[in-house]
A = this chain, B = another copy of it.
């Protein structure tokens, strides 16, 4: 199972807005310089997020993007769905016609899996992400060590 960079970029960018958006709109350039995301690509992603209603845009000098809801209201699931990276592990995209018009043996399994993953992502909001990043400090030594441990422990 893979997550594409588009989905990751979208979440990263939204988190960046959450962290730096208090003083007003945040420009694409600001975000892509801080997060190392190609500017032209990030524009596309922001466009999708806007059309989905996750963010609002302000044009002209001093403009940029602003979160359109509170941090508690925006979940990771919302963001991924907005950029077309919503979870779907089924072959038939939920239609249950996987094999000759009827559902295949493993349809329930994939359906349930999709549900589990989405549930997890729905419970994580920008608010909880901000709390976490704030607590460990982004990119510092302590954080890196903690993650290294985690990876080692879970054999990821």
Which residues of A line the B interface, CB within 8 A?
1-3, 5, 7-8, 11-12, 15-16, 35-36, 76, 80, 85-91, 94, 96, 99-100, 102-118, 120-121, 124, 129, 132-133, 136, 138-139, 143-144, 146-148, 150-151, 154, 156
Name the residue of chain B whose CB is nearest to the CB of A85: B1
- CB-CB < 8 A to A111: which residues of B? 147, 150-151, 154, 156
- State how many copies of this chain the complex holds: 2
Which of A3, A91, A102, A120: most chain B Cβ within 10 A? A3
Q: Is A139 touching B105 in the complex (CB atoms < 8 A)?
A: yes
Q: With both chains docked as a complex, state the minimum distance between the C-beta of A99 and any C-beta of chain B, in angstroms.
A: 5
